[in-house]
A and B are shown apart, each in its own frame.
Chain A
Amino acid sequence: MIKTVFFTVIIVLFFYIIWINNIFAPHERYEMPAEHAKIAEDVKSYAKEGKQLFEQNCQACHSVRYDAVYISSVQANPKLQTLQEKYGKVLPRDVYQAVFHEDLMGLKESFGKVPPDLSTMYLVKGKEYLYAFTLEPQKVLPGTSMPPIMAGRPEETAKIIAYLKSVAEPSPEEKNKRVLMGVGTLAYLIVMGVLLWLWRGKMLKKTGLH
């Protein structure tokens, strides 16, 4: 009995540390005021406005390919539409990079590297990092070529983050559906497990194997 408890506890503890919350590994934390965190979370109300702000402030250098938003010079290029008719709204990366090579290399000349595509950036960095970095790039990542273009505009930054979240994550309705699916699946499995156990008890009693 003691052995069972001991092994169960250390196994659960081990997987908790490895899979869920590794208290031993280093974590970087960034602060974000609650009111702005709320805006960045609220995809439904702010994603649309965030997209407009993105187009005004960020699109000169950054694309969001998964939302068919390309850098401004590409967006103005008539070739884009022809290509989109052929390949779909979201162009394959190699096609995009090959056809618009000159635009991207122009950016590389000014900044030292091609500014990254931001389609999945929300998932990679999280809203706190994006917020801190966009407002004060040099403070978070010294030596970066990203200009402090959003400095002093924290609310608008939060709205842009809401837009990036809307691209990277499933929509709130879709998320609700997934939660419902999850609850249904779990309920089914647990009920089936219990029924199997009860049925087994009955069957064993009948056959005298208990």
Chain B
Amino acid sequence: MLGRIGRWIDERAHLSELWQSQMVDYKVPKNLTFPYAFGVMAIVAFAIQIISGIFLTMYYQPNVHTAFDSANYTIMKEVPFMWLIRHVHAAGANFFLAIVYLHIFTGIYYNAYKKPRELTWIVGWVIYFVLLVTALTGYLLPWGQLSYWGMVVTAEIPTSIDSAPIIGSLKIGETVSIWMKGGYEIGQITIGRFFGLHIWLLPLILLLLVSVHLYLVRAAGISNPEGREIDKKKEGVPFHPYMTLKEGAYVMGYLAVFFFFVFFYMHHFLPPDNYDPADPFKTPAHIAPEWYLLAYYTIFRSIPDKFLGFVAFNLSLVFLLILPFLDFSPLKSARNRPLFFIMFIVLVISSMALTILGTMPPTPTNAMLGLIFTAGLFAFFLALPVISIIEWGWYKARGGEKQ
């Protein structure tokens, strides 16, 4: 009976043809390494966020008076199993960003942003940016002390444009800041617009962008750790079952790590200070953004001039966006590029150090270290054109196309 229903549907929708053409006949390189699985893990993390988020909206109240209680009493104590959903959503946000960061660094390592995949990279960058905004808006919703004061600090950042020489007099920064908050202070209007953005506008944009990203990955083909384009007809392996089962097993491992944190270690994802209701008259001791923003935050605060700091952290984002055009070398993948590999290590260590420095108090020594690692971060981006020119030389010397 079930088989007959299946056949009836298949005759009309041609699903098995779609499966055959998209999953079985679709060939991928055989030598894909473990980091290639971060992409599918990110999709899983996204799905987990959407599903857990839908349940959370059923009980959460976007209201300054009741938001804190709805999160910490209704959700955590009253409704059965909602504690689990909140744990999943809070840990899931951190895991999603962690996986996205690993995915970005994998892309940089294997030069997955190069021709013909520039557009995939650019769409991916937009996903990353929207994801940061989604995380930021969601962080305010529990209305704890960290939520509130984290947003106070974040809403201050655009005002640093106003200390610029000429454009400062236009007060653009203040306007942006007021526009973010919906007024001069963070209150009911802020929570309302953040809730709206967080629960449907930004997730819908993300969903659309992720679909485009996936389409582009299919259209341009998966990059290769060896840095050469494979002849898909001859050497590729079928996506299903070769890839699907391999990545399925990896995803199970990822979920096991994720649920370990969900059940046994929520201390970082639901930090103690955020169990204190938001109080505009009580400044907590340590205010810092969440870890995924700390690298930018450290760049911003290590530079003595506020406006220059603002420019620098935005510049690091812009450099990430135009990476495919900074790096115009004919060679691909850090495996074939020793100079690039060295600069990649500089990038990884700088960004990790900047993140950790963000959790430390702003002493002069830390500001100095911040400046050094900021220099390291920019050194990576600025070295790319130089490396590319050198590598063009090697490429020509070896006789062009033949590798």
Chain A residues at the B interface, C-beta cutoff of 8 Å: 7, 10-11, 14-15, 17-20, 22, 24-26, 65-66, 90, 92-94, 97, 113, 117, 119-120, 123-126, 168, 170, 178-179, 181-182, 185-186, 189-190, 192-194, 196-197, 199-200, 203-204, 207, 209
Contact = CB atoms under 8 A, between A and B. Distances in A.
Interface string B245-267: 11011101101100111111100
30 contacts: A10-B352, A11-B102, A14-B352, A14-B356, A15-B98, A17-B356, A18-B291, A19-B94, A19-B268, A22-B359, A90-B73, A120-B275, A124-B272, A124-B276, A126-B272, A170-B83, A178-B263, A181-B263, A182-B264, A185-B263, A186-B263, A190-B256, A193-B249, A193-B250, A193-B256, A196-B245, A196-B249, A197-B245, A200-B246, A209-B238
B69 A93 contact: yes
A92 B260 CA distance: 34
B72 A193 contact: no
Q: Interface residues of B: mostly helix, strand, loop or mixed?
A: helix
B65 interface: yes
B286 interface: yes
Given A92-B69, A120-B72, A197-B245, 6 more contacts: A18-B359, A20-B268, A66-B72, A123-B272, A190-B253, A197-B249
A193 B37 CA distance: 14
Interface of B: 65-66, 68-69, 72-73, 77, 83-84, 94, 98, 102, 237-238, 241-242, 245-246, 248-250, 252-253, 255-256, 259-265, 268, 272-273, 275-277, 281, 286, 291, 348-349, 352, 355-356, 359-361
A92 B65 contact: yes
Contacts of A170: 77, 83
Top 9 A-B residue pairs of the complex, sorted by shortest distance between their CB atoms: A182-B263, A193-B252, A200-B245, A94-B65, A123-B275, A120-B275, A189-B256, A196-B249, A197-B249
B360 to A, nearest CB: 5
Contacts of A197: 245, 249
Given A93-B65, A189-B259, A199-B245, A25 B98 contact: no
B74 to A, nearest CB: 9
B356 A10 contact: no
Contacts of B98: 15
Nearest to A197: B249
Nearest to B366: A24
Given A24-B359, A189-B259, A196 B264 contact: no
Contact of B359 (A7, A25, A120): A25
Contact of A26 (B77, B255, B275, B286): B286
B360 A24 contact: yes
B272 A193 contact: no
A120 B69 CA distance: 10
A15 B91 CA distance: 13
B266 to A, nearest CB: 11
Nearest to B273: A124
Contact of A18 (B263, B276, B355): B355
Contacts of B72: 66, 119-120
Contacts of A22: 356, 359
Contacts of A90: 69, 73
Nearest to A179: B263
Given A26-B286, A120-B275, A179-B263, A189 B246 contact: no
A17 B352 CA distance: 10
A22 B276 CA distance: 22
Nearest to B34: A4
Given A18-B291, A94-B66, A182-B259, A10 B348 contact: yes
A24 B294 CA distance: 14
A179 to B, nearest CB: 7
B360 A120 contact: no
Nearest to A170: B83
A99 to B, nearest CB: 13
B259 A185 contact: yes
A141 B288 CA distance: 22
B309 to A, nearest CB: 21
B301 to A, nearest CB: 15
B263 A203 contact: no
Nearest to B244: A200
Nearest to B83: A170
A24 B249 CA distance: 35
A125 B272 contact: yes
A14 B294 CA distance: 13
